[in-house]
Amino acid sequence: MADWNAYYRNEDDDNEEKEEEQQDGEYKISGRDSTVFLVDASKEMFIKGEDGEPSNFDMTMQVVRTVYTTKIINNHKDLMALVFYGTEQSKNPRNSFKHVYVYHDLDEPGAKRVLELDSLRGEKGALLAAQTMGSGETSLGDALWCCANLYSDIKLRLAQKRLLIFTCRDQPHGDDTAKDRQARTKAGDLKETGVVIDLLHLTKAGGFDVSLFFRDIISQAENDDELGLQLQPCDKLEELQKRVWAKERKKRAITRFNLCLGEGLNVAVGLYSTMVTARKTAIRLYRETNQPVRSKTRTFHTQTGSLLLPSDIKKAQVFGKRQIVMECDEVTAIKKFEDPGLFLIGFKPMERLKVHHQIKPASFIYPEEDEVKGSSCLFSALMKKCKEKNVFALCRCTRRRNYSPRFVALVPQEEEVAEGKTQITPPGFNVIYLPYADDIRSLDPPRRPCATQMQVDKMKAIVTKLNFKYRCDAFENPVLQQHYRNLEALALDMMAPEDMEDLIMPKVDQIDRRLGILADEFREMVYPDGYNPESKPPAKRKPAATAGSAEKKPKVEVPEDELRAHVKNGTLSKLTVPVLKDACKQFGVRTTGTKKQELIEALISRLAS
């Protein structure tokens, strides 16, 4: 039974890793994500900030470009669109809306769109955009109507429909109440069709008041808690990028199940992956058409060659020198332990949870109010009490129907908000996967010389000097970043890829300044005199040749006259392959192969000429 458990557990771990890395099972079923950037093109957006800071329009274009390039790498199937309102020129699918300019239709982002965005950035691009776009009247209702037409023209299934409004005017229509009423009505129609409207308000002289107009425009269901947090407008590019990513980045649950707190007391939660390893993804293309290919696997009988159906395939396991044959349904029934869900076992003090208990990356659970009413309230109360009593909830977790159960620790996590009123960490429970008894091994480490107390104290001082606050999101993978920059340079016809700073390289000068003489003192205390860690190790001496060892044969060179005589008499085949190779090198004959016949033919053609 131990072999069976280990087999199933490893298989489940592999499946979980694939789910967390790809998460495309639900994506294929539900559809694609779509985002429309609705940008205010009024003259106020092109006013530069103090000390030469970029204008609101330039910051917005930089953020949109960043989203485009990131989507191309991560989710190239998602749909993006860029629409300007308040423009002098008009361009939309039906040309029925004045002062609305659809710069990009709702489609997959590509290199051409990135190049078109680059033409709107910088001083020349902003000047051109200000002359051609930022001088028309404003009708946000017409712009919202045009965005609704963009969504209606898409025949694909959409999982998420999001509309992001970038503006620095809290009253875009001034005192025109008719246009305000029209915009509110159209925003309501969009929200009824499932479009989530968010506001990215930018800096404005005198402050930006959301309550004057945009409170009735944005989606209240998503922003009830965020309205009070985002009263401050964005005035920095980094802050605007963080807000856009917080709204645009999809938050898909790996799975959804119930957290059972007792008999008949269930809380609907969604399980999320907080960290996924970034990897290079390769797509197989057909050589002639350069189109993606799909792989299809079929199973044939090894003796008859006939095609096997899924019902013809059986599974077997050797136990006690016997082969136990089972149907696929029987294997599925054996692997099923219980229905998916989290089942509360009890509570433990937080100090009982050790660092080495975390055997795999943690997950995160958040309540799903749409599944079970009242889940958010009960979930929040449970999290608050666990935080007050400094305990974690011990649960049994079954992620999928045929997955093996795991013991997990639910560690409460409170919400953290940055200075710009942007959420850094959401409230919820971190799911720590605990090991089984056979997952922990007792090792017998090799015996090493023990350090003295003085050496330990000196190393403690060095560690204290080099201590810093580590954040995983502050370091990027240099190999992946260089790969992405190379692809970007090829796609955008750039002369050279952008320079990349390798953040994982140690800062030697700063380390030397911090340590001072501590490193020299530690080296003198631990290592022998004259030790230099930067010196090269001595070269290994080659063993002396023994009497019985085979000596290297001398190089045999055949004169040209003798080779011509062999060619004339047809006796080149009597020469060995090494001799023929040396002859080819002697006369500058290039050969693609090492076969004897190929060498003979190459020499004959060379000497005959």
Token code pair at residue 327: 């149907």
Q: What is the pLDDT confidence band of residue 228, given thresholds at 50, 70 and 90?
A: very low
Task: Report which of residues 554 and 598 the model is more confident about.
Answer: 598
Poorest-confidence range of 37-41, 129-133, 178-182?
129-133
Element (H, E) at 365: strand 363-367
Tens digit of pLDDT for each residue in 1-13? 333 333 334 445 5
Q: Can you give the pLDDT at residue 545?
A: 53
DSSP 8-state secondary structure symbol assigned to residue 181: H
CB-CB contact of 111 with 143 (8 Å): no
pLDDT category of residue 433 using cuts at 50, 70 and 90: very high
CA 103 to chain centre: 28
pLDDT, tens digit, for every residue of 489-500? 888 888 888 888
- In this predicted structure, the answer to whether residue 431 has a pLDDT above a threshold of 90 is yes
> Mean pLDDT, to the nearest integer, of 536-559?
59
pLDDT of residue 365: 93
Which of the two residues, 558 and 466, has the higher pLDDT score? 466
pLDDT in tens, 232-280: 777 777 778 777 877 766 677 888 899 999 888 899 999 998 877 888 8
pLDDT of residue 560: 76
pLDDT greater than 70 at residue 169: yes
Is this structure's pTM higher than 0.85?
no
- Please, what is the average pLDDT of the chain? 81
Alpha helices, DSSP H only, in 133-267? Answer: 140-152, 177-192, 220-223, 237-248
Token pair listed for 46: 């092109």
What is the pLDDT averaged over residues 331-343? Answer: 86
| 271 closest CA partner among 431, 381, 33, 406 | 431
Question: Structure tokens of 148?
Answer: 């609704």
Residue 15: pLDDT over 80:
no
Of 391, 418, 422, 396, the closest CA to residue 407 belongs to 396
Contact 359, 439 (CB under 8 A): yes
Q: How many residues are recorded in the chain?
A: 609
Which are the catalytic amino acids? Answer: 28
Residue 231 pLDDT exceeds 60: no
Q: Is there a contact between 47 and 40 (Cβ–Cβ < 8 Å)?
A: no
Please classify residue 199 by burial: count the beta carbons closer than 10 Å to its beta carbon, then call 0-12 exposed, 13-18 middle and 19+ buried. buried
Please list, in sequence order, all residues whose beta carbon lies within 8 angstroms of the beta carbon of residue 330, skipping any fewer than 6 positions away: none
pLDDT of residue 126: 67
Dihedral Cα 59, 61, 63, 69, nearest 10 deg: -150
Of 404, 510, 408, 516, which is closest to residue 462 (Cα–Cα)? 516
End-to-end CA distance of the chain: 76
Among 10-19, 199-208, 351-360, top mean pLDDT goes to 351-360
Q: Which of 188, 177, 248 is nearest to 218 (CA)?
A: 188
Q: What is the mean pLDDT of residues 187-191?
A: 90
**pLDDT at residue 225, rounded to an integer:** 46
**Secondary structure letter of residue 18 according to DSSP:** H
**Residue 82's pLDDT is what?**
93
pLDDT band at 24 (very low <50, low <70, confident <90, very high): very low
Rg of the chain on CA atoms, in Å: 34
pLDDT, average across residues 477-503: 85
Stated as kind and residue range, the H or E segment containing 72 is helix 56-74
